[in-house]
Structure 1
């Protein structure tokens, strides 16, 4: 079937109420499309990088905790499923999981509304992971660490990556945290 595209276009213009109406409608739709397209790509990239970074180390931990697990990529586990599997490993992973869940929520919001935003509430949730917040403050002294929401998110992701990546090493920072958690838990 041969379609006369000139006839199609003429009829669409007619059905739209004329060229001016069609141009007006198309401009309006293009403005809405551009609104979604013209997002803060720096913020979006930083959020996605933090999420992917943390997921990498969750996967690494999962494999380390379960050496006979097999090919984890073939299992096609979601981020949340992987987190659930490592969350109960120790008091340390349980504590980190609270902030990791918030990071996942931030990333999921990004996926649904295309807006790269880390709110003050998100920041406070990440800072409520006390081992992260306290270590971050101590390491920054005598200065104060950045209060920027995206910087806090990135610092949290790096903290999680460092702690999860060292869980397999008995002399690691993560193992020292675990030892202190266990010592304090046994005192109560």
Structure 2
């Protein structure tokens, strides 16, 4: 390891390279303020985005494990979120319907990780609301004006919807409901 030279000479030369004492102070203050602003992000928004992403990833992993029991332990192989998404069955219309939204949720999480920006925009909200079944359920529920809702709220609502859809595919309730629906459909008189 290289030994540090004389610290006074090092400081003096650094200040010279920065353009003198006044310019050095200005540049140092600017860099410090930028770092401080990145540190003082809205931690509530960061937490909400991360919670939504982790929540969906949990149910995505559970879905993959249950739908593909012969797969290796996904926690041991440590595949990425994107790789898990690639394992979803594109022929399952209920799952394929939510893939776009889940990928967009991952994009928002990546934006947070790479830019330290916890913003969820109206454009993000529109992406989630472009999923017809999600929007229809929101409009039919207690949130009929979801298009005007806070984008962060839309992100959270979508995360819960996506997780529920994934869970429904492999849960005991989901299996029983699907079986009952199929039986009722086959026994129903034609219209």
The bucket for the TM-score relative to the shorter chain is: 0.7 to 0.9
**Cross-structure match for 2:115:** 113
SS of corresponding position for 2:71: coil
**Cross-structure match for 2:50:** 48
> Structure 1: which 5+ runs fail to align?
184-188
**Cross-structure match for 1:186:** none
> Structure 2: which 5+ runs fail to align?
186-191
**Cross-structure match for 1:21:** 23
Assess, with a 3 A threshold, how the Cα gap between structure 1 residues 70 and 7 changes in structure 2: closer, same or farther: same
| TM-superposed deviation, 1:87 | 3.9
Instruction: State the alpha-carbon separation in 2 of the partners of residues 174 and 83 from structure 1.
Output: 26
Assess, with a 3 A threshold, how the Cα gap between structure 1 residues 174 and 103 changes in structure 2: closer, same or farther: farther
TM-score (norm 1): 0.81
Assess, with a 3 A threshold, how the Cα gap between structure 1 residues 174 and 129 changes in structure 2: closer, same or farther: farther
SS of corresponding position for 1:39: coil
Alignment match of 1:76 (pick from 75, 78, 81): 78
Assess, with a 3 A threshold, how the Cα gap between structure 1 residues 16 and 100 changes in structure 2: closer, same or farther: closer
| Structure 1 outlier segments of 4+, above 6 Å | none
Assess, with a 3 A threshold, how the Cα gap between structure 1 residues 11 and 124 changes in structure 2: closer, same or farther: closer
What is the number of equivalent residue pairs in this alignment?
Answer: 178
